[in-house]
Amino acid sequence: MMQRNVKAVVLALGLALASATAGAKTVLPGSLLEVDQNRGAMVESIVEKWGPALEKSGAGIDKAALREMVRGLRADRLMAASLAGSVEGLRDVIAVSLISSAPVSSAAIPAGQVKASADGPDALGNANADLVYTPVTPCRLFDTRASQGGMGTPGLNVRRTYGAIVPVVNQGGPGGCAAPSGATVALMVIGTLTPSGAGLLQGGPQGAANFPNALILYQSGDQYGATIAMPLNPANGQFDLVEQSATADLYGDLLGYFRAPQGGFVSSITAGNGITITGSASAPTVGISSTYSNLNIYRWAGGVASINGNTTSFAFYGPTQSVPVLAGQAMTGTVSAALSTTAGQANLEIALCYRLGAGSITEFTPNSYHAVEVSVTRIPYTQVGSTASLAAGTYTVGFCARNFSATAVNSNDWSVGWVTVHN
What's the CATH number where 159 sits? 2.60.120
* Domain total in the chain: 3
Q: What is the pLDDT of residue 1?
A: 40
118 with 89, same domain: the answer is no
Tell the burial category of 289 from Cβ atoms under 10 Å away from its Cβ (0-12, 13-18, 19+): exposed
Strands 346-356 and 370-374: antiparallel
Cβ distance 222 to 216 under 8 Å? no
pLDDT at 125: 45
Does residue 143 sit in the same domain as residue 251?
yes
| pLDDT average, residue stretch 51-74 | 74
Confidence tier at 142 by pLDDT (50, 70, 90): very high
Closest listed residue to residue 153, CA positions, set 103, 193, 211 = 193
The predicted-structure confidence for 383-421, as pLDDT tens digits, reads as follows 999 999 999 999 999 999 999 999 999 999 999 999 999
At 304-327, the pLDDT tens digits run 999 999 998 999 999 999 999 999
Same domain, 119 and 90: no
pLDDT at 43: 86
Among candidates 91, 48, 373, 103, which has minimal Cα distance to 217? 91
95 and 113 assigned to the same domain? no
Same domain, 363 and 352: yes
pLDDT in tens, 346-375: 999 999 999 999 899 999 988 888 999 999
Mean of pLDDT over the chain:
79
Helix or strand or coil: residue 15?
Answer: helix
CB atoms within 10 A of CB 4: 8
d(CA 343, CA 328): 46
Confidence of residue 111 (pLDDT cuts 50, 70, 90): very low
Tell whether 159 and 225 lie within a shared domain.
yes
Task: Please give the average per-residue pLDDT across 134-146, as a whole number.
Answer: 94
Q: pLDDT tens for residues 24-44?
A: 444 455 556 677 777 888 888
pLDDT at 59 over 70: no
For residues 150 and 142, is the Cβ–Cβ distance under 8 A? yes
Q: Are residues 79 and 110 in the same domain?
A: no
Q: Do 92 and 106 belong together in one domain?
A: no
- My answer on whether 166 and 299 are in the same domain is no
pLDDT at 23: 44
**pLDDT value at 335 more than 60:** yes
pLDDT attached to residue 64: 82
- Residues in the chain, total: 423
Residue at 1 is within a domain: yes
The whole-number pLDDT of residue 295 equals 73
Q: What is the mean pLDDT of residues 209-219?
A: 86
- The better pLDDT of the pair 186, 72 is held by 186
Give the lowest-confidence range in 200-204, 221-225, 296-300, 348-352: 221-225
Q: Which domain holds residue 252?
A: 100-262
In the chain, what percentage of residues exceed pLDDT 90? 49
* Structural domain ending residue among the three candidates 52, 73, 99: 99
Kindly state the average pLDDT of the residues 3-15.
48
* pLDDT score recorded for residue 88: 59
**Average pLDDT value for residue range 120-149:** 76
Within-domain flag for 115: yes
